[in-house]
Amino acid sequence: MIIDCHGHYTTAPKQLTAFRDQQIAGLKDKSQRPTSTNLGITDDEIRESLEGAQLKLQRERGTDLTIFSPRASAMAHHVGDEATSAQWAEVCNDLIYRVCKLYPQNFVGVCQLPQVPGVPPQNCIPELERCVKELGFVGLNLNPDPSGGWWKEPPLTDRHWYPIYEKMVELDVPAMIHVSASCNPCFHATGAHYINADTTAFMQLLTADLFKDFPTLKFIIPHGGGAAPYHWGRYRGLAQDMKKPPLAEHLLKNVFFDTCVYHYPGIELLTKVIPVDNILFASEMVGAVRGKDPETGHFFDDTKRYIDQLSMLSPENRTKIFEGNARKVFGRLDAVLKDRGLN
């Protein structure tokens, strides 16, 4: 089985956007607030939104299962208050659940949290528990910067985040560290803010000893880990200067990287620098880059092609990247697949 650990519902029916527009309008005029969380989306509309996009690409590219979450750029935790974010997260997560029910062989859910700048992360725990225990989700997206590009929250290693980590360990679910929209004009959302956040999260984890407190906590840093693999020598050297253990011991029992890197040399570098056991296959399709590479004639986000070209990978290591590591990191995944009759 080829498992794509990083997919977002970027093609959701237009009613979802209409609901969000109502929510935002209602922040200024209470009479505009949505009166119901029933989006009026039919099963056929969900099928139509996927059949020509994610499902079509799964079939064409030879992938089997996508670990699927709400659209990251639309999480927009900086918009509105706690009630706004709670309602928006619930609506988005319920839609992912419907996708997984309609296509149990193709999608497994990961949840959006109702984060709000300045609000304790522990307030997100009820929605996380609902999604894992009731909806059968296997992970969460954790935004280290719910302010949207202004970085007002403490580092991920601060005790501010500990309640959510305790619940993650209890539920045996990993977090993909994933920011959302950028309000800061200095940072393009997908080209700068996302990659900056990946790099920042890695450096935050390097500077502290979080995993001494949470030895089974698991994080996935997406988009190939930002700058980390490219500057691995810098980070090894910084860790050494800080009197930290070697990175393999300090971080790599708990931190993993996905393959959302959109050219072959980048994937090749990732697999040369990062141990195979720490790499999870992912494409983020249909996502940040949707066009074809004129140099190859193939879609930039067809990341399976790049991995298939890696002649240095043994069959065993290729299987780890495509399947085994995802089953290891997402501790609840095997049980979900077994319940669905999948191997």
Amino acid, single-letter form, for residue 50: L
10 Å Cβ neighbour count for 117? Answer: 15
Residue that the structure tokens 């996927």 belong to: 50
d(CA 147, CA 115): 10
The DSSP H or E segment spanning 219 is strand 219-221
Residues annotated catalytic, as ranges: 284
Alpha helices in the chain (DSSP H): 14-28, 43-51, 54-61, 82-102, 125-129, 162-171, 194-207, 210-213, 232-241, 247-250, 264-273, 303-308, 315-319, 325-329, 333-339
On whether the CB atoms of residues 255 and 202 are closer than 8 A, the answer is yes
Six token digits for residue 275: 């141990």
Bridge partners (DSSP) listed for residue 111: 140
Closest of 340, 329, 97 to residue 221, by C-alpha: 329
On whether the CB atoms of residues 222 and 284 are closer than 8 A, the answer is yes
- If you count them, how many residues does the chain have? 343
On whether the CB atoms of residues 293 and 300 are closer than 8 A, the answer is yes
**Angle in degrees, CA 18, 22, 28, rounded to 5:** 155
Closest of 164, 160, 176, 250 to residue 207, by C-alpha: 250
Query: What is the CA 80 to chain-centroid distance, rounded?
Result: 23
Closest of 202, 211, 214, 213 to residue 256, by C-alpha: 202
Question: What letter does residue 170 receive in the DSSP assignment?
Answer: H
